[in-house]
Amino acid sequence: MEGTLFGLASFSHIENINEEKQRASATHNRQVRIRANALNPLDIAKIHFHDLPTPEFDSPEPDFNSLSKFPVHLQPSWDACMLLREPIASFFRDISSKSRRVVVVHDSLMSYNVQDVSSFPNVESYVFNCISVFTLYCLICITKGMSIQLEEELLKKLPSLQGIVTDEIREFGASQKPYMEIRSGDIHNTSKVIEGKFLDLLAQVTSEQKKKQWAIGPILPTKLDHISKKNNICLDWLNKQPPRSVLYISFGRTTSFSYREIKELAMGLEQSKQKFIWVLRDADRGDIFTGEARKVELPEGFEERVKEIGLVVRDWAPQPEILAHSSRGGFMSHCGWNSCIESITMGVPIAAWPMHSDQPKNGLLVTEILKIGMLVREWRKREELVTASTIENVVRKLMASEEGDVIRKRAEELGEAVRRSTEKGGASRKELDSFIAHITR
């Protein structure tokens, strides 16, 4: 049997890989190789990367000053991805002639490109859902005009869809729907321990599709045995800090801040007097190997003043390893699902600051349903400047208050339960075993 994975040209859509083959453009395969967080290098060596011919595309820098944080600058790379149907079909023809069965795992936004699986009797496909099941359930209910099964107070807090994506990406997603029926089932990067209720609700609202579903997450190693062998400035700095004392700050690969926003965040961190690691970098371009990154200027003297309590990192940071470290005590995050699932798995509470897409609903899941975090800013205030005093207050509350301690304890208990679910006899391990048994039948 051959296994292959196709992801949209956005790193959050192709990051969680532990498959036999990874199919993408040469640019994005190269990106995966150098940024494969948490995976043991020996495991990465077992993955065969196949470069697909992708047309050249523009790779503009992000708009740092836009009130909307949606990464519109990535649209050219997404448009280029939609020209991959033929090379993917060619690959199917080649590999299907040599294998008893070919199993294709793909991003839902690649459904158009993989539609030719239906032309080969020994090829079957499965969608890898890279957003939370809670968000997926809400979106399906809204699309179908069905009521969302939540308590009244939670429904009042449910973030609107306004401002989460552009019209272009909404149309892009809608264009994939006609090809979704081809799939044989769905894989979710979550655990019944985290989203059991919403997995059941999702099954109810999609019952007419008659598609098998497996919740096999978290799709990342829960025991990072190779950490101690890594030589990294972040991990070296964390080794010198007390347990649960450091706030990790990162807003993912698709978020950029204006100079004013960066200044307010810097002042808020300094005024909080809490220890921190701040990954300060702009959103990725469509091709991360082109163009020069902006040199972000911090307030004069900032790094010198905070050198005893803080570390500013302007390069790639090993996020899973940081979150797994005993010194981390919290995570200020944009609430992309990869970041959420990593933080939940490692038992780290979240200061939720959603920026776009699925993130606002992930923020609600984290703060109001799982109760393992607190909001930095409400979604309805997304275009307002988050002030230094607001950031200072949230950081202090999460890192140095009784309320923060309660949230941290709850996060640690959930993390322990999630990690147990991946062990033999656990819920996620059973789901993974079931999926493997199904595709190797």
The phi-psi region of residue 145 (left if phi > 0; otherwise alpha if psi is between -120 and 50; otherwise beta) is: left
pLDDT of residue 189: 97
pLDDT of residue 436: 96
| Burial (CB count within 10 angstroms: exposed 0-12, middle 13-18, buried 19+), residue 362 | buried
What is the second-level CATH architecture of the domain 3-222+421-440? 3-Layer(aba) Sandwich (3.40)
Span 201-210, average pLDDT: 94
CATH no., domain 233-420: 3.40.50.2000
The pLDDT tens digits of the residues spanning 8-61 come to 654 344 444 443 445 455 666 666 665 566 567 777 777 888 888 878 888 888
Which carries the bigger pLDDT value, residue 229 or residue 424?
A: 424
Tell me the pLDDT of the chain averaged across its residues.
Answer: 90
pLDDT of residue 380: 96
b/e sequence 164-181, b meaning 16+ C-beta within 10 Å: bbeeebeebeeebeebbe
Span 84-105, average pLDDT: 94
The pLDDT tens digits of the residues spanning 385-416 come to 999 999 999 999 999 999 999 999 999 999 99
Phi and psi at residue 331, in whole multiples of 5°? -140, 115
Task: Provide the residue ranges of all domains of the chain, joining segments of one domain with +.
Answer: 3-222+421-440, 233-420
Span 213-233, average pLDDT: 78
Instruction: Name the least confident of 83-87, 160-164, 252-256.
Output: 252-256
pLDDT of residue 15: 46
